Amino acid sequence: MKTFEQSDILKKLPTQFFATLVGKVNKVIAQGHDVINLGQGNPDQPTPEHIVKSMQEAVTNPLHHKYSQFRGQPFLKEAIVTYYEREYGVKLDPEKQVAILFGGKAGLVEVPQCLLNEGDIALVPDPGYPDYWSGVELAKAKMELMPLRAENRFLPNYDELDPAILDQAKLMFLNYPNNPTGAVATKEFFEETVQLANKHNLCVVHDFAYGAIGFDGKKPISFLEIDGAIDTGIEIYTLSKTYNMAGWRVGFAVGNESVIEAINLLQDHMYVSLFGAVQEAAATALLSSQNCVDELVQKYESRRNTFIYELNKIGWKVEAPPGSFFAWLPVPDGYTSVSFSDYLLEKAHVVVAPGIGFGEHGEGYVRVGLLTDEDRLVEAVSRIKELQIF
C-alpha cells in the first residue's frame, strides 16, 4: 500500500514515553504474571450514579441529537460559574470568561496554539505533564524549563529564572496539586506568580486537574482566588478526576477574557461543541451534592496513608503527598528511574512510572498512582520488600 509522509509538525512531536512503558507491562502480563499497575493515572472508581442517570435521561432528549451550540450550552456555563463562586469565591462572566473543553488535555494543548507564534517561549515545569510539550511543539514555539525541586516543595523558584528569558516568554504553565509530585501551591506562591506575570506580561495557564484532591483537611486553592490573577491568565479544570469522568472528555477553561475568546475561536474551527447530554451530566455533577467528591478524597487519603506507612515500614523513606492521587518516590542509590522501574516490573511485577518521563528533573524519582484498592497497594509493598533493596 502507498505510504504518505507525515508532516514536519507530526515528526517533531515529543515521543510518547509512556507508550513504551505500556509495551513493557503488556509483555509481562502476556507471560501470565499478576501485575499490580501503579504507573497509570486513570481513576479506578465509577462515575457517581446520579451523574450517570442524568446522562441516560439526557440522551433521550431529541434537542441533543442536533448540533450543539458552537461554544457550549448556556446551562453548563452557568453551572461552571455557580461552581467557581461556591467553591472558590470567584465570580465569572459565563459568556466571556468560560470556554467548554473536550477534556482538560485538549485545552492544555490548544492554548499554545492560541497565543504563541513560531519561536515564542513558553515556561514549562520540569517535571511536568508531558502534553504541555506537545502543545508548545504544535505551535512551533520553544520551551524553557522551570525546575521543580524537593527543597522548594516542588514549586518553581522564580529567582533562578533568567530575567531575559522571562522578558521574552509569553506563556507559563503551572499545575497544583501537581502531577507528578503531589505538591500543592501556597497563596504566597500564587501571589508571587501574579506579580511575576504582570512584570513580564506573561499569560499564566494553571492546570487545576486535581483541584478537588487535597489531604489533611486542606483544600487546594484556585489560582483565580488571588487578587489580580484573573487578569493574568486562565485556569483549566476537568471533571475527570473530581467526578471519575475521565472517559467522558469534558472540562473547561475560565479566566482572562482574551484568552477564553482565543480558545473559543480556535474551537469554532475544529468542533461543534460537546454532545449536549454530556453537558447536562457535567452540569449535574457541578450543581449536585458534593458528598461523592468528599468520599472520593477520603478514599484517596486512606490509600495514601496506608501506602506511605507500609513503604516507610520496609525502609523506603518517603513523604506523604499533600494533594493529587500520586506519590513521588525517591529512587534508591544505584538505580536510575528507568532501571528501577524495570527492576520492579521484572522482579516484583509492580508497575511504577519512571520520573524521567516527566522531564529531566524527574530523574531520581518514580511516580505511583493511588488508583487501586488498599490491599493491592499493601501487596505491592510486600513484593518490593522481598527484593531486599531497602
The average pLDDT across 355-380 equals: 96
3-class secondary-structure state, position 132: helix
Q: Are 145 and 124 in contact (CB under 8 A)?
A: yes
Q: CA–CA separation, 359 vs 340, rounded Å?
A: 17
Q: Are 322 and 184 in contact (CB under 8 A)?
A: yes
* Same domain flag for 211 and 150: yes
- Among 262, 287, 312, where does a domain finish? 287
* Same domain flag for 241 and 356: no
pLDDT digits (tens, 9 = 90+) for 164-186: 999 999 999 999 999 999 999 99
How high is the pLDDT of residue 133? 93
How high is the pLDDT of residue 112? 97
Q: How far is CA 18 from CA 211, 218, 335, 353, 368, in A?
A: 24, 31, 19, 8, 14
How high is the pLDDT of residue 14? 84
pLDDT digits (tens, 9 = 90+) for 285-300: 999 999 999 999 999 9
Q: CA–CA separation, 368 vs 348, rounded Å?
A: 15
Q: How far is CA 264 from CA 115, 133, 134, 285, 342, in A?
A: 12, 21, 20, 23, 43
Confidence band of 18 (pLDDT split at 50, 70, 90) = confident
* Same domain flag for 167 and 256: yes
Helices of type H across the chain: 8-12, 17-30, 49-59, 74-88, 104-115, 131-138, 163-168, 187-200, 229-232, 239-242, 257-268, 276-287, 291-313, 337-343, 374-386
How high is the pLDDT of residue 25? 85
**What's 79's DSSP letter?**
H
Confidence band of 115 (pLDDT split at 50, 70, 90) = very high
Tell me if 24 is assigned to some domain.
Answer: yes
Tell me if 1 is assigned to some domain.
Answer: no
* Same domain flag for 205 and 266: yes
- Among 287, 308, 332, where does a domain finish? 287
What range does the domain containing 254 cover?
Answer: 49-287
pLDDT digits (tens, 9 = 90+) for 23-65: 888 888 899 889 999 998 889 999 999 999 999 999 999 999 9
* Same domain flag for 253 and 317: no
Domain count of the chain?
Answer: 2
Tell me if 118 is assigned to some domain.
Answer: yes
pLDDT digits (tens, 9 = 90+) for 240-260: 999 999 999 999 999 999 999
- pLDDT(16) > 80: no
* Same domain flag for 334 and 241: no
* Same domain flag for 155 and 17: no
pLDDT digits (tens, 9 = 90+) for 139-162: 999 999 999 999 999 999 999 999
Confidence band of 205 (pLDDT split at 50, 70, 90) = very high
Tell me if 231 is assigned to some domain.
Answer: yes
In our burial notation (b when 16+ CB lie closer than 10 A, e otherwise), range 84-98 reads beebbebebebeebb
